[in-house]
Structure 1
Amino acid sequence: MVEEQSLLGKYIIIFLVVSGYWIISIATVFVNKTLLSHIELDAPIFINLSQTLVTALICYGKKTLSILFPHTFSFPDTNIWDRQIIKTILPVSIMFTGMIASNNLCLKYVSVAFYYIGRSLTTIFNVLFTFLILGEKTSKKCMLCCGVIIAGFWMGVDQEHFAGSLSIAGTIFGILGSLSLSLYSIWTKKILPKVDGQVWALSYANNVYASILFIPIMILNDEIPIITNYPYLREPFFWAILLGGGVCGFLIGFFTSLQIKYTSALTHNISGTAKACAQTILATYWYQETKSFMWWFSNLVILAASAAYARIKQLDMEKKHRQGPSYSKV
């Protein structure tokens, strides 16, 4: 009886974590789309800056609480202003800055419905850079999945062009977002051992450094006059949306970690794929968009190939674990 209750409790926690990830992830995309396209503020770098600042302040708040209440809260004892720490983490922070900037710029120019297709090449760049940087080869089955993803991406872009709604700039930023996300993930994997695997410390440093990097970019992008002349700058609803976007940006990272912790990396990938499908359907309903059969088919192709890739990679990792160090990468 106790075992059944324990199992039930575990399933309830998993349900709440996965549900939370879906809600926060979808809300983040819609809030960012509102900030970038529907409140007439043409200052995407400023919006990025506000989000990294909010996350940095949340991390700083947790760090302060860990000092005041060490028995209740904990935070890695890392000095982000140490020269060696800056030298170690700054390359990752530059990729992190490029990733969130290109992601939001992609979302600025494309619809939420097309956003998943525009950002669907991350797996392709993962395979490429994992080989170039880490020297890890990918199995032929995974390569086949990558080929199908590229075909789905091309089909989706073609359908957007056929419908007259294709944004070249948005598509390019989507590809750059996929590229920078791939590089960020790979370099994070290399850097984490150098900071004792402290995810909170890396997140804190990344968001602080990114906030600093965004300031000159914002100035070069000539956003200061746009911000100072923005008619809703003093309106509470504007700051509420801006703050909401920052909190969502923090929470998505938090729930991603929780989902991986309470399930697995494979379940996280499958959950993310299913979430993307729900997000696309919700976006077409919310913005009253009508899409062709081939457009939906391109989404299905990408979703199925991405799920298959995740499953094959998981099986490869299990095989590697069973055969031990002598197993050679395929």
Structure 2
Amino acid sequence: MTETLMSKSLKIAAVVAAYWFISISMVFLNKYLLSSETLKLDAPLFVTWYQCVVTVILCFLLSIVARYVPDYVNFPEMNIDPKLCRATLPLSIVFVCMITFNNLCLKHVGVAFYNVGRSLTTVFNVVFTYFMLQQTTSIYALGCCGIIIGGFFLGVNQEGSSGELSMIGVVFGVCASASVALNAIYTKKVLPMVDNNIWRLALYNNVNASLLFIPLMIVFGDVTEVYGFPLLTSVHFWFLMTMSGVFGFAIGTITGLQIQVTSPLTHNISGTAKAAAQTVIACTYFGQVKSSLWWLSNLTVLGGSAAYTEVKRREMKKQHNEAPAQKNGSV
């Protein structure tokens, strides 16, 4: 009994540690690729496009491996249906906006401010849920959203006071938050089209995105920038690019695994703690000294997000407990 409990605890600890490592590493690696003074590659759409291509390749590779060693690798069969490509296109457009704005935000703001810059996802989720799904939100949850908004504006104010604020980065962060919220809503609508298989959805999303990015890269000059890039033949550069794509693919796997071995609430708590750790690591690594109010803004955003999660958990538990009573009362 003790061994089983210890084994389960070790498994949970390993999955949470892997989630933290992959998520934090991906942010720092993307920051390097997007705005490093060493690389000097001003082609954020190209970097994002390549990550989508890597995800498509990995989906097919894992599908082939699973076919031959199903006892060791569990992955669905992958094939592309043009009809499903068209059916998932609206979600893919939102998906393209989400990953593009995420990377553009990271390009223009520091890693330490990144979480505050994209902190309005919960707020937009409440807004879009009301206008698109006609679902209301409790006063307690709205209060948590108010705390998040307050922390966001305090963070913007303090980042501006330190002279490190990029307004275009903040705008991209707000757009990223809105896109993430929209992506969650559209994902729920589209998942049944792919038999509720998250990996098949990832395949179609990234196939569509790989095609959608091509005209965008031409219009915004990324193709020209890459064509004249001096490190285009560098093995090290392509290794880093490929690793960023692998991390992008892996984060989907490890997120699902963390939810599976713990719970959605624990996953959100882990994500909140990870964001705090990431901020501290970024400030230490880049040698940044922040004011007390700046740190307060981060704590406010994280606290508001954690409180919102707890409020929603309690509301869902209450609804779950009330459902049998209502059913019995109607019989």
Q: TM over 0.5: same fold? A: yes
Tell me if the contact between 2:63 and 2:78 (Cα under 8 Å) persists in the aligned partners: no
Counterpart residue type for residue 243 of structure 2:
G
Tell me if the contact between 2:60 and 2:78 (Cα under 8 Å) persists in the aligned partners: no
Q: Within 2, Cα distance between the matches of 1:216 and 1:81?
A: 22
Q: Within 2, Cα distance between the matches of 1:132 and 1:9?
A: 46
Report Cα offsets for 1:43-87 as digits up to 9, x if no partner.
00000011111111100111222344456544435643231x123
Please list every run of 5 or more consecutive structure 2 residues that lacks an aligned counterpart in the other structure.
Answer: none
Counterpart residue type for residue 176 of structure 1:
C
Q: Within 1, Cα distance between the matches of 2:195 and 2:4?
A: 32
Please list every run of 5 or more consecutive structure 1 residues that lacks an aligned counterpart in the other structure.
Answer: none
How much identity, in percent, do the aligned residues show? 47
- Displacement of 1:248: 0.9
Which secondary structure state, in structure 2, belongs to the residue aligned with residue 66 of structure 1? helix
TM-score (norm 1): 0.95
Report Cα offsets for 1:95-116 as digits up to 9, x if no partner.
1111000000000000000101
- What is residue 87 of structure 1 aligned with on the other side? 86
Counterpart residue type for residue 140 of structure 1:
I
- What is residue 51 of structure 2 aligned with on the other side? 51
- What is residue 310 of structure 2 aligned with on the other side? 311
Q: Where does structure 1 differ by over 6 angstroms across 4 or more consecutive aligned residues?
A: none
- Displacement of 1:250: 0.8
TM-score (norm 2): 0.94
Report Cα offsets for 1:186-224 as digits up to 9, x if no partner.
111122123221011001111111111111111111111
Q: Within 2, Cα distance between the matches of 1:191 and 1:33?
A: 31
Tell me if the contact between 2:59 and 2:78 (Cα under 8 Å) persists in the aligned partners: no
1:171 aligns to 2:170 (yes or no): yes
Q: Within 2, Cα distance between the matches of 1:71 and 1:307?
A: 39
Q: Within 2, Cα distance between the matches of 1:260 and 1:90?
A: 27
Counterpart residue type for residue 31 of structure 1:
L
Counterpart residue type for residue 204 of structure 2:
A
1:153 aligns to 2:146 (yes or no): no
Report Cα offsets for 1:123-180 as digits up to 9, x if no partner.
0001111122222211110000000100000000011111111101100000000000
Q: Within 2, Cα distance between the matches of 1:254 and 1:26?
A: 15
Q: Within 1, Cα distance between the matches of 2:198 and 2:88?
A: 12
Over aligned residues, Cα RMSD in angstroms? 1.5
Alpha carbons of structure 1 residues 4 and 166: separation in structure 2 relative to 1, 3 Å: same
Q: Within 2, Cα distance between the matches of 1:87 and 1:49?
A: 19
Q: Within 2, Cα distance between the matches of 1:26 and 1:293?
A: 24
Counterpart residue type for residue 280 of structure 2:
I
